Chains A and B, each alone.
Chain A
Amino acid sequence: MTTRTVAEPRTASTSPRRRGATLSSRRQRWGWLFVTPFLIVFALFLVFPLVYAFGMSLFTTTLATGTAFTGAANYLKAFTDPLFLGGMGRVLLYAVIMIPAQLLVALAAALVLDTLATWLAKLTRLLIFAPYAIPVVIGALMWSFLYSPRFGPAATLFDFVGLATPDFLAPDTIFGSLVNVVTWQWAGYYMVVIYAALRSIDPAVYEAARIDGANGWQTAMHIKVPMISSSMVMVVMFALIGTLQFFTEPVVLRSVAQGAIDAAYTPNMYAFSLAFSYSQFNYASAIAFSLGILVFVGSYLFLFLTRKQSGLK
């Protein structure tokens, strides 16, 4: 969509027609020269690994028969493998719960911050964003300490309000515990994106709404939210891509919650353990490639369905 805005005025304003041919071929060469270094990296570390993974996934290595071409066998196995399907279902469930949770916190914070210009509001904006500057591993480590009954921070807080401390690391509570870790880590980032979009709305629009007698809530719901829908679509898309690749947080929490998180908790964890614990690289490639395709198709579908809101074509 951005391509045309520059391309068209350029052809119109380029210097004399006579020199046009040589000039444009020189320009063409410079254009390619500028983008080539990136394209080399793109080919080596994105296109090639994808092709390679697909190639690997078509073979199977066993001790008895060595490596043999087995076609789609690994994919048939993957899509009937309860561990892979279970992991896929789990990350989808995470997507359904976690993304709205993060979005809600981010949107509420951004809307409130947008109406305030106090030092407290500025400070809060910084504090909410702070977790983004903390590596995901360290964030998850911190929460694993906070959840841990051995260190007791959570117990301190629950005693303070007079409640019994739940076990955050049990099989039936780990889901919520992980949702909390991810929301804590990412809501601030999304808040900054949404906040910046809110700031770029022309204040004259609010003036008009105020004259029409709209109150703060109505302005927020009927003017602000619709006007930043393209940012929201982007935020949801990034959250979706991130959630389907869920890996770091469950891996880190696994060392304190062995019973609740197994090695195939998410598709990425499953692929990782297949490759590095069991050396089943062919099958791991099939899992990784399937996950890649599903994420790509899923995000593409999402962008297609929300094309009205995002303004993308």
Chain B
Amino acid sequence: MAIALPGQRAARRGGLRRLARRKSTVAFLLALPLILLIASLVVYPALFSLHLATLNKSMEHFVGLGNFEFLFKRELFWMVVKQSCIFAITAVIFKAFTGFVLAHFVHNIPTKKQRKWRGMLLIPWVIPPAMSTLAWFWLFDPSYSAFNWILRAVHIGDVNWLGEPNWARASVILVNVWYGAPFFLIMYLAALKSVPEQLYEAAAIDGANWWQKIWYVTLPMMRNIISITVLFSLIVTFANFDIVRILTAGGPIDQTHIFATWAFKLGIEGNDIPLGASVSLFMFPILGVAAWFILRDISQRGNEA
């Protein structure tokens, strides 16, 4: 029976409250640099970008949605939208698929050997993309392509890797897949390992073959990680700059331009900052929609589980 003296109780309550307040203040202070960083160098510029997009080219007058009107009328703008989406979606699908398949292969070999193979396969992701894209650029070069050398040797003939629009798009996607697949490999491999072996054995007893096992056991167990990696990769791929810039600079005839490279061309090279800002801003709603869908999917399943 705790009949505390009024003073004591008050003191304890006061003490607890003080402790709680102190804790939350400390917590806030610890997170403050993060908040400041994001507020000043991410949120503020993003909002400023909205403001920039409403100005005219010399940034002296307010033109409201004039820049967006201008863009919507241009055939090239819609082409860039289409190209960006095709690029991002195709590349992510290939990356995820490659990563998934490779994860299975690595999983199938003895655990001791896995480390070595995994190490070799992650290398593309570790090399700075600007550097490796230079190598690809030379491999695709019109006059000196080493790939064409091989193709000529087996009598297939040259491929116009960077000069023919569809090949150029394929090349850009190829380089992006080369660069990004290892990330998926690592993530999926880790996730694979955490799928309990008993589930596979149970499925085997039920007479499942290999692809049924994947469909009914592996994929459901890995749903969350697949969603997160696909979302993350969609965002990063959609906003890609380095690869297209170095490989094709948007050519030929603007057929490989994506938002980032086109914004760069218009805004910085063309000296039209507001127009460049408008183009970049277009990425945001598309990304936002994608993010919302996938995050909703994750949290829904989180609630089910």
Whether chains A and B associate is no
A-to-B contact residues, CB < 8 Å: none
B-to-A contact residues, CB < 8 Å: none
